[in-house]
Amino acid sequence: MTPTLYWKDGNVEMLDQSRLPTEVTYVTCADAATVARGIKELWVRGAPAIGVAAAMGMALGARPLAEGSGDDFARELAGVGDMLISQRPTAVNLEWAVRQVMGYVKTNCEKPVADLKKQLVDLSQRMLEEDIATCRAIGAAGAHLMPDSGGVLTHCNAGALATGGYGTALGVIRAAVEAGKSIQVYADETRPVLQGARLTAWELMQDDIDVTLICDNMAAHVMGLGRVRAVVVGADRIARNGDAANKIGTYGVAILAREHNIPFYVAAPLSTVDFSIASGAQIPIEERPGHEITRVFGQTQIAPEGVKVFNPAFDVTPARYIAAIITERGAVRPEDLHRLADPGVDVAPLLVR
Ligand code: MRU
C-alpha cells in the first residue's frame, strides 16, 4: 500500500492526495505550517490520517520552540495544536491527536525540553503504527458482516489513504476479501472532490480488489437492480447516540439503503467517537470553498461565474439508519455505542453477530 505519511530525515513526507490518481508525489513538510496547509488543502485527508498528520505536525512545531521551562514549552505547543485543529472542524481525530500529544507533554513536563522534542517524533510514529493496527482490528471485527459474495457500496474514501494504512470501511472489505469472500465494490465517485473516483477506485485497483465506479446519482438505480448487498462507509465524528458525520452524500446513501432493505454499516476507530456530544446536531460541519463545485479542480469552469454556492463537506446520518458501528472493539448497534466510553466494559454481549 502507498503510505500516506512517514518520517524521513527529520521531516514528514506527505502523499499529495490532491494529485491522485494521475501523479504519486510526496510533499516534504519541515514545519507545522506546511502540515497545516496539507490538512486544509486535502494533500492529507480522511479523519484518522489527519489525526496522525496533526501528531507529526506537533512534533515539527515543537522543534523551533525555546528549550527553557517545560511549562512555557507546553503553552507554546498548545498554540501549535490550536492552529492545526483550526484547519478542519468536523473530523474529531484532529483534536483527539493534539490532545494525546499535549497529554504526553503535560505528564512528562519535568523532562528536559530537548528530550521531549525527540519523544514527540517517536510518539507520532507510534500513533501511526497504532492507527494501522486499529484499522486491522476494525477489519477483523466487521468482515463477518460482509456478504459471502456480491456487491458492497461505499462512499468517499475510508481506505488506506484515509488512515495510517489498511483503512476503516475499506479495511472491513479488505478483511472480508482476505477471508475468501467474493466482493464487488461499488465506489460512489463522491462529488465534489471525487475521493471515490480518484482515491477509492485507485486504491482498490492497486490491491486487485474488484471495484466498479458509479456516479453518486446512480446509487439508487444500482441498489434497485439488486447489485448491492451491504453498504459500508467511514466517519469523521460520531456522537454518543450513534449519529455519524461522514462525507457529504452519505446520509442520502443511508436512506437509499433503508428503502432497499440493505444493511448500512459505519466503520470507525473509537478515536472518531466524540462521547462528549449527545447527538449529531452538535457536530460542526465544515463548509469548503465554492470553486470545488463550480470548477473542476480549480480549472475548467462548469457553472456560471458568480453563482451562489453552498458546499458543506459532510452530512450527518441519523443513528436509526445504521445497522452497526464497527470499531476496533467490535461491531455494536448505535444505541450501545455509549457503553464503549468505558474501556473496561465487557463488549461480548453487545456485539452484532
Ligand atoms: O474530506 P475528506 O476527504 O477528509 O473526507 C473523508 C471522509 O469523509 C471519510 O469517509 C472519513 O474521514 C473516514 S476516513 C477513514
C-alpha cell at 29: 513538510
Q: Tell me whether residue 72 is one of the annotated catalytic residues.
A: no
d(CA 101, CA 121): 10
3-state secondary structure of 118: helix
Examine the pLDDT at 1 and tell me if it is beyond 90: no
For all residues of the chain together, what is the average pLDDT?
A: 97
Establish whether the linkage from the previous residue to 192 is cis, with ω within 30° of 0.
yes
Is 47 touching ligand 1 by the criterion CB < 6 Å?
A: yes
Examine the pLDDT at 139 and tell me if it is beyond 90: yes
Residue whose C-alpha cell is 452538535: 282
- Residue 241's nearest CA partner among 278, 204, 274, 211 is 278
Examine the pLDDT at 297 and tell me if it is beyond 90: no
- List the chain domain ranges: 5-136, 143-350
Ligand 1 centre distance from Cα of residue 189 (Å): 13
- The closest-lying atom of ligand 1 relative to the alpha carbon of residue 195 is 3
Q: Is 29 exposed, middle or buried (0-12, 13-18, 19+ CB in 10 A)?
A: buried
Ligand 1 centre distance from Cα of residue 113 (Å): 35
| CATH fourth-level superfamily of 143-350 | Translation initiation factor eif-2b; domain 2 (3.40.50.10470)
Is 162 touching ligand 1 by the criterion CB < 6 Å?
A: yes
Active-site residue, selected from the candidate residues 188, 236, 274, 315: 236
Provide φ and ψ at 214, rounded to 5°: -130, 155
Examine the pLDDT at 124 and tell me if it is beyond 90: yes
Is 280 touching ligand 1 by the criterion CB < 6 Å?
A: no
Ligand 1 centre distance from Cα of residue 313 (Å): 9
Ligand 1 centre distance from Cα of residue 261 (Å): 25
Is 256 touching ligand 1 by the criterion CB < 6 Å?
A: no
Is 288 touching ligand 1 by the criterion CB < 6 Å?
A: no
Q: Is 194 exposed, middle or buried (0-12, 13-18, 19+ CB in 10 A)?
A: buried
Q: What is the pLDDT of residue 107?
A: 95
Query: CB of 204 within 8 A of CB of 211?
Result: yes
Query: Looking at per-residue confidence, does 62 or 109 come out higher?
Result: 62
Ligand 1 centre distance from Cα of residue 50 (Å): 9
Is 88 touching ligand 1 by the criterion CB < 6 Å?
A: no
Tens-digit pLDDT profile for residues 44-54: 999 999 999 99
Amino acid, single-letter form, for residue 120: L
Tens-digit pLDDT profile for residues 164-188: 999 999 999 999 999 999 999 999 9
Tens-digit pLDDT profile for residues 189-217: 999 999 999 999 999 999 999 999 999 99
According to DSSP, residue 128 is labeled H
d(CA 296, CA 8): 33
d(CA 252, CA 226): 18
Is 168 touching ligand 1 by the criterion CB < 6 Å?
A: yes
Q: Please report how the helices 47-62 and 70-85 are oriented relative to each other, as an axis angle in degrees rounded to 10.
A: 140
Q: What is the pLDDT of residue 116?
A: 97
Q: What is the pLDDT of residue 185?
A: 98
Residue whose C-alpha cell is 456530544: 277
Q: 10 Å Cβ neighbour count for 344? A: 4
Query: CB of 44 within 8 A of CB of 5?
Result: yes
Q: Is 261 exposed, middle or buried (0-12, 13-18, 19+ CB in 10 A)?
A: exposed
- The closest-lying atom of ligand 1 relative to the alpha carbon of residue 93 is 12
Instruction: Identify the sign of the CA torsion 75, 80, 83, 85.
Output: negative
d(CA 3, CA 166): 10
Q: What is the pLDDT of residue 279?
A: 98
Ligand 1 centre distance from Cα of residue 233 (Å): 9
Tens-digit pLDDT profile for residues 4-46: 999 999 999 999 999 999 999 999 999 999 999 999 999 999 9
d(CA 156, CA 169): 10
Is 158 touching ligand 1 by the criterion CB < 6 Å?
A: yes
d(CA 148, CA 180): 8
Examine the pLDDT at 97 and tell me if it is beyond 90: yes
Choose which residue among 4, 95, 246, 315 to substitute to test ligand 1 binding: the one with the highest number of ligand atoms within 8 A of its C-beta.
246
Q: Residues 287-308: what's their mean pLDDT?
A: 95
- The closest-lying atom of ligand 1 relative to the alpha carbon of residue 246 is 8
d(CA 235, CA 230): 16
Which CATH number describes the domain made up of 5-136?
Answer: 1.20.120.420
Q: 10 Å Cβ neighbour count for 159? A: 33
